[in-house]
Amino acid sequence: MSCAKLPHAVSLFVLSSLCLVAFGCGGLSPNSPASPQRSAGTLSISPNRAALNAGSSLQFTAVAAGVANTDLEWLVKGVLGGNSASGTISRSGLYTAPQAVASNAVIVVTVISKTDPTKASSAAVTVVPGPTPITVSIAPSFARPSPGQVQHFTATVKGTTNQRISWFVNGNEGGNSSVGTISSTGIYTAPLSPPAMPSITITARSTYDTAASATATVTPMGSAAPPVNGSPITGAANNAYYVDASAGNDSNDGRSPTTAWRTIAKVNASSFVAGDQVLFKRGEVWREQLTIPSSGSAGKPITFGAYGSGPAPAIAGSDAITGWIADAGSVARPPLPKVYSATLSFMPVALFRNGVKLGAAKSALNLLNSDGDWYYDGVVYLYSSHDPLVDVLETTTLRRSYGIRVAGKSYVTIQNLQVRQASAFNIETNASAWITYRSIESLQAQSSGFNIENGCNFVTIGGGSLIHDNGLAESGDRNGIGIGSFGNGSSNITVQDSDIYNNTNHNIEIARTDSNAVMANLSFLRNRIHNSLAAGIYIGGAHTGVSVIYNQIYSNARQGLIAAEGSGNVNPGSPVIVACNNVIWGNGTSGGMRNANVVFPSNSTAGSTTFKNNIVAEANGQEIQVLGGAAYTGDYNLFYHSAGGTFLEWYGKTQSFADWKANSLQDIHSVNFDPKLNNAIGGDFTLTAGSPAVDAGANLGSPYNWALDPRSSFPWSTVDQNTFSSWVIGPFVYLPR
């Protein structure tokens, strides 16, 4: 008989039997019940050995021969019926292994006759860890995009190296125009009009194991906006025109991808009506200038966008350099090793190799000594460690001063395009209204990436736009975005949900106009603004009504935010600045007297500056300088300077935090603590558990209540702060990840 643990009743019977053997039956009355009858038969279990995955089941069978009573009990490791740790077994012998084991585990399963406990049989079951379950997670789990806004979802598959995902919107793979569309990489585009249902479900499903999936909820907000996904607007009154730089032909009608036009010149020479779309093929490059030829109307803009798959269509101010040959020398000199030449009819301003700007031109051919050195004398010479025929070489010349120009037009949307390497401004907007730029990449302009001037009204840049590495010229306007400069003052300009970085001068500049005009209602919302060689946001010129809300402004060389309105300007206006719920971190990287996170050296005594709910920390210099001018109101901010000391300046005198509060009579509820950010050095300014910024902000009311959702990624979804008990300091609400 097995030594497995017996049930309590059976154990008592065995003890009683032992007593009878040892002491006889004298103590028992004639009417005492008879002991259980031992049979001469056998009881065995089948199978008697097995291996089983964790969580799986196996049917055991009891084979009884010559046993008078086959009423059986089943035990797992001596426990009647088993348990969750060792597995369970039914009265019919169906064994189910535990759901998980750390390593192989041997489990003993026993069957025993209740009427003859001497008859029992056991089997050894080796339970092995089951296959790793396939799981899918999705981030963010919630998004609240505006109509037409782009939201990037990411999915992670665990349990397999196969990370391929199928994306669904409300059960439809890829989605549709009613509920929004989603690409194979998780880029969701919200529908133009809010759907009938209050929420939309995004599903990420593993292609390796279709039973594994995760979902996110989308609740679109706001009113309808122009389309952003490049799909033609339906309806008899609206037309879509296609442009294909490789396979198109300007003699075609342009009405389908197979009858596409070829050139931007054809687009410039055409007229369009409200609601039309002009779509450029993805993956193609046009070395031309797009001059918007027509205006749309309210609710029916003319849209310039993209179709197909692949990289965004590119409008390049540069020319391609081809036909490189190894230098053969001349009568006057021997061949130069590793030097190649190509014919170029136009004076190059800059050279780019595989999208990276090379250094300035050398002044003589014999100075070409290092990889990337170049010289021009009617022929362009390049020192290269390898044959340049394998590279993409481009040069900016003075032939194309802009990539896209919108002048005197209204109700135009431009989206999903790359514009690069113009000899002046990549994108110029002049005397125009109701112009929307969405999901634009503007880079490597000699001057500014965007320039908005001469009385523009209602111009918006957003939708995940990337504006970077502009201002390659030696002087002049070299900003990411320039507002002002020429002509009448522009108003109602919004820059939102954009990443603006690595620009030579300011990332964003509000500039003095040549007519000293006042600009009004300029808003900067939910942007990343970082790593410029000057200021993150420079507020100059004459203006009234500037809002800087929910931005991340960091690692700029001079200041993060500087207001210098009226500097050298006879008309400073009556500046009103509201800067709230930003994180302004680590600016002033180049050092210097006026390098700081925030500087308010206002030259106007009119107007006001409101500065609340901001995280201001770790400047290379002062955290904030208020040097005079317009009335400053600050409160509910978090200042932090790990080096301590006097890190704030009030009217020319540096202060400790305590002195700042005492002398300025401001920031009564502000604090001086480490904000406990997730990874500020790495650009992650979300809050960790225990951050003193949580529930420490002031409720500023509408429209300032829509904070960034830390579960999302750029361009971020938003969360209504009024759904929390209190507001935070900084741009992100606190939600555990």
- Polymer length in residues for the chain: 737
Predicted confidence (pLDDT) at residue 39 exceeds the cutoff of 80: no
Q: What gap in Å lies between CA 421 and CA 446, rounded to an integer? A: 7
State which CATH number among 2.60.40.1080, 3.10.129.10, 3.40.1160.10, 3.50.30.10 fits the domain covering 135-218.
2.60.40.1080
Q: What gap in Å lies between CA 734 and CA 615, rounded to an integer? A: 14
Q: What is the pTM of this model?
A: 0.70
Secondary structure in 3-state letters for 302-370:
EEEEEECCCCCCEEECEEECCCCEECCCCCCCCCCCCEEEEECCCCCCEEEECCEECCCCCCCHHHCCC
pLDDT digits (tens, 9 = 90+) for 449-486: 999 999 999 999 999 999 999 999 887 789 999 998 77
Give the model's pLDDT for residue 42.
Answer: 80
Q: For strand 481-483 and strand 508-510, is the pairing parallel, antiparallel, or unpaired?
A: parallel
Distance of CA 521 to the CA centre of its chain: 28
Fold matches, 8-128 and 135-218:
yes
Give the model's pLDDT for residue 167.
Answer: 92
| Contact call for residues 75 and 4 (beta carbons, < 8 A) | yes
Q: Where residue 1 falls among pLDDT bands split at 50, 70, 90?
A: very low
Q: Which residue has the tokens 């001018």?
A: 629
Task: Give 167-172's long-range contacts (Cβ < 8 A, gap of 24+).
Answer: 167/202, 167/203, 167/204, 167/205, 168/202, 168/203, 168/204, 168/205, 169/200, 169/201, 169/202, 169/203, 170/197, 170/200, 170/201, 171/201, 171/203
- The β-bridge partners of 189 are 150, 181
Predicted confidence (pLDDT) at residue 721 exceeds the cutoff of 60: yes
| Contact call for residues 349 and 397 (beta carbons, < 8 A) | yes
pLDDT digits (tens, 9 = 90+) for 574-625: 678 999 999 999 999 987 767 899 998 655 566 789 999 999 999 999 999 9
Q: Among 16-25, 204-213, 399-408, which is the least confidently predicted range? A: 16-25
| Contact call for residues 371 and 383 (beta carbons, < 8 A) | yes
In angstroms and rounded to an integer, the radius of gyration of the C-alpha atoms of the chain is 37
As a whole number of Å, the end-to-end CA separation of the chain is 56
pLDDT digits (tens, 9 = 90+) for 198-233: 778 999 999 888 888 999 888 775 433 333 333 333
Could you tell me which CATH number the domain at 8-128 has? 2.60.40.10
Q: What gap in Å lies between CA 295 and CA 499, rounded to an integer? A: 28
Q: What is the mean pLDDT of the chain?
A: 86
Domain layout of the chain by residue ranges: 8-128, 135-218, 318-396
Strand, coil or helix: 538: strand
- The β-bridge partners of 645 are none
In the 8-state DSSP scheme, what is residue 697?
B
Over residues 323-351, mean pLDDT: 92
Over residues 172-201, mean pLDDT: 82
pLDDT digits (tens, 9 = 90+) for 656-692: 999 999 999 999 999 999 999 999 999 999 999 999 9
pLDDT digits (tens, 9 = 90+) for 98-108: 988 888 889 99
pLDDT digits (tens, 9 = 90+) for 501-550: 999 999 999 987 766 778 889 999 999 999 999 999 999 878 888 999 99
Q: What gap in Å lies between CA 264 and CA 407, rounded to an integer? A: 17
Burial of residue 735, with CB atoms counted within 10 A of its CB: 0-12 exposed, 13-18 middle, 19 or more buried: middle
